[in-house]
Amino acid sequence: MDDTTSAKFWNFLRLLSASAMYLSSSIVVILLFLLYTKHDSCRTNLFLLIGTVLLCGIAIVISVFLDSYPERLMQTSFVTMYTTYLTYASLRYGQSECDAERDYAIKTGNQPDLNLYSVADVLIIFCLVAFACLRAPQPYYRKFGRVIISRGRILTGKDKSCSSSFLHFVFSLFSVHLMMVITNWYNPRETHYGEEAVNWVALTLKTFSSLVSIFLYIWSLIAPSIFPDRDVHSIQGILTSLGTFTCKALYVVFIKPCPWWNQSKSTRFAYTFLLLAGTVASCTMYLPAVRRALESNPYFCSRLTKMGNCLSMDPAYLAVYRICFSMAAFFLLFAMILYSVEFHSDPRALIHNALWLVKFGLFFGLVLCTFFIPMEFSKVWMYFGLIGTSMFIIIQLFLLVDFTRVWNKTWARKMEKTGKRCWFYLVFACTVIFYGISAAAIVCFYVFFGASYKCKTNKMFVSINLVLCAVAAIISIHPMVQDGGLLQSSVVTAYSVYLTWSALSYNPNERCNPVATYVSEADMRPNLNIQASLDLCLLVITIIYFSVRVSPITDTLRELIATTLRLIVGLRRRKVKDGEDQSPDEERGNEAALHENESSQQLFEFSDEKVPYSYSFFHFVYFVAAIHLTMVLTNWYSPKDGSNIKLSIAWAAMSIKMTSSSMCVLLYIWSLAVPILLYTKKPC
């Protein structure tokens, strides 16, 4: 057999072995999904399995694109199988109702032999440690610094020896792990609740270890491409290269702007990242593992039942209020500090664009400090939330209008450039779809939320919004309206209808709210239901869009406020042109100049140029966004001591949302009408 045939044979054998291990891992993962995620309360297991599958899939894809892919695929198959085993070992320590062994014991009456799992775990770890200690070192074998971690022979021509200290350290870790595996993390003097808490600790640690292991392996695959001049095949090389890459990435993103990003964009990205990080942290408070850990803490729950349920205020509710309050306080502080910053030469502009270590420390410090605020503060903060969320709903309207205007003009320019009418038909189709959905929803409102003759409040609110939306549609197509159109009006109508549905679902009268009967029978502790998820997605999308379009949106709102004040004091301007104030070419030129103004910024630049947007208004929008996030994630929830199951529907929430829906349409109508009222035509 020649060398070429031999190489093909061994490559085929590697691929065959890797395929067998991938198939085995896939079967095990499918069984884990079926056995450990069949209950609704097993979301932690579901997230763990999804995360493991994604990371293993990334490792497999990276291995395929490497040069020596047969060898790497073989290596990745071993790592995938080992990660699958670690995932299974983690799931065994989850919730009792999510444990497949518990179902086996209930059906058969026999407890599974946990010693079998312990023996298998010990044998696997022992084989791995023995293999690492007895194999001969190779040039690309894992080592620590310049010292080979092995008890085999020394490489020829290289002065390398075995690290006895590190070897004994590994043996000590193996002994500790052996103790925890054999005892199954069990303490005979531990109570039932303590044992359950220990199980959750075991689940957390094992989950973290398995995810970190697969992540480090992925990094070992891509590190040679990022650092070709470094030795990244050793343990020390992997850790140091990962630390170097992380520090450089944080420096580039949060301190020094990226080469393709200017200072303004990187700054807005950093603040958006802080808000989204707080949003993710707030959502994690509703995970069963985190919620149970908070309930076991006497600071969050002063009274527990024998079943472990909290009789005082819901701990997840309290944690979300504190995290969102810390974010709101952070952005409000900067909104006040940066008030009236107009030029880059202002020293306060440096506070907005730099000092990231201080701001990150302040942000996370506020998150920690707010947990020491007395419990009664949550009720006070809820009243601020009622006002703040109505303001953010109105800001969302302007963001949607701006998005629709950009959307409409983009397609109109493409139609002018290409001469194809397909863009017109697309705009027309989108308009019909939005109006069709809104009309169907309004009919459903009258049928389901206004069926009883006692539901006069619902009928009145729906009728008012219907009339306002019709008026907005008529005004938007008026010849004198500049930036109107049915597409904008249809989006505003759909948004108003969505707010109307959200408001009607908070009606506490069961006769006028078909959802109330279902809600009253469910556990209405704060959670991410369908409505909260939609509000959360809309919040995230609008915040990201605002961070991208903050400059033109700020100018539009400033102009709208200025023209409104001129009308109030009786000042009117003469209009030089009968048509639009600016031609499309002039408008595109202004937008290009604005983009060039942002792109010309450099880090820590002190000049007399004006800032591209209002820093204070930017932080104020993020402040009200944090308040709105509070009400979205808590479902406008205000629990009382002694009740952990309570309706999340209230007259206050309904009134504020319904009023906001009407105010949004009124403000849109005013934004269309104010240029007509302000300007007068030039006399002949």
pLDDT, tens only, 591-612 = 545 454 544 444 444 456 778 8
Q: Check whether 520 has a pLDDT greater than 80.
A: no
What is the spatial distance between Cα 197 and Cα 678, in angstroms, rounded to a whole number?
A: 67
Please give the pLDDT value at position 583. Answer: 47
Which has the closest alpha carbon to 35: 110, 119, 92?
Answer: 92
Q: pLDDT confidence of 467, banded at 50, 70, 90?
A: very high
Q: Check whether 655 has a pLDDT greater than 90.
A: no
Residue with the larger pLDDT of the pair 638 and 117: 117
Q: Check whether 615 has a pLDDT greater than 70.
A: yes
Please give the pLDDT value at position 37. Answer: 75
* Contact of 157 with 174, CB cutoff 8 Å: no
Instruction: Summarize pLDDT for 252-287 with one digit per residue, the tens.
Output: 655 554 444 566 777 888 888 889 988 888 888 877
Instruction: Summarize pLDDT for 521-552 with one digit per residue, the tens.
Output: 444 444 556 777 788 888 988 998 888 888 88
Q: Express as a percent the part of the chain with pLDDT over 70.
A: 68
What is the spatial distance between Cα 281 and Cα 273, in angstroms, rounded to a whole number?
A: 12
Instruction: Summarize pLDDT for 558-583 with one digit per residue, the tens.
Output: 887 877 777 777 665 544 444 444 44
In Å, how far from its chain's centre is CA 209? 23
Which of 39-43, 210-214, 421-425, 495-499 is least confident? 39-43
Top-ranked range on mean pLDDT: pick from 84-88, 272-276, 354-358, 592-596? 272-276
Please give the pLDDT value at position 670. Answer: 84
Strands 573-575 and 147-148: unpaired
Q: Express as a percent the part of the chain with pLDDT over 90.
A: 5
- 0.85 surpassed by pTM: no
Q: Check whether 78 has a pLDDT greater than 80.
A: yes
The residues, ordered by sequence, that sit 6+ positions from 203 with a Cβ below 8 Å of its Cβ are 44, 90, 91, 93, 94, 289
Please give the pLDDT value at position 571. Answer: 60
What is the spatial distance between Cα 573 and Cα 566, in angstroms, rounded to a whole number?
A: 9
The residues, ordered by sequence, that sit 6+ positions from 466 with a Cβ below 8 Å of its Cβ are 442
Please give the pLDDT value at position 34. Answer: 82
Report the 10 Å Cβ neighbour count for 127: 10
Q: pLDDT confidence of 85, banded at 50, 70, 90?
A: confident
HSE at residue 475, side-chain half, CA atoms within 13 A, is 21
Q: Check whether 92 has a pLDDT greater than 60.
A: yes
Top-ranked range on mean pLDDT: pick from 22-36, 52-66, 565-579, 640-654? 22-36
What is the overall mean pLDDT for the chain? Answer: 74
Instruction: Summarize pLDDT for 44-58 with one digit per residue, the tens.
Output: 777 788 888 888 888
Q: pLDDT confidence of 197, banded at 50, 70, 90?
A: low
Average pLDDT for 214-233: 82
Instruction: Summarize pLDDT for 412-435 with one digit per residue, the tens.
Output: 888 888 877 888 888 888 889 999
Average pLDDT for 407-416: 83
Please give the pLDDT value at position 622. Answer: 92
Please give the pLDDT value at position 558. Answer: 81
* Contact of 68 with 7, CB cutoff 8 Å: no
Helix, strand, coil distribution of the chain in percent, nearest 5: 70, 0, 25
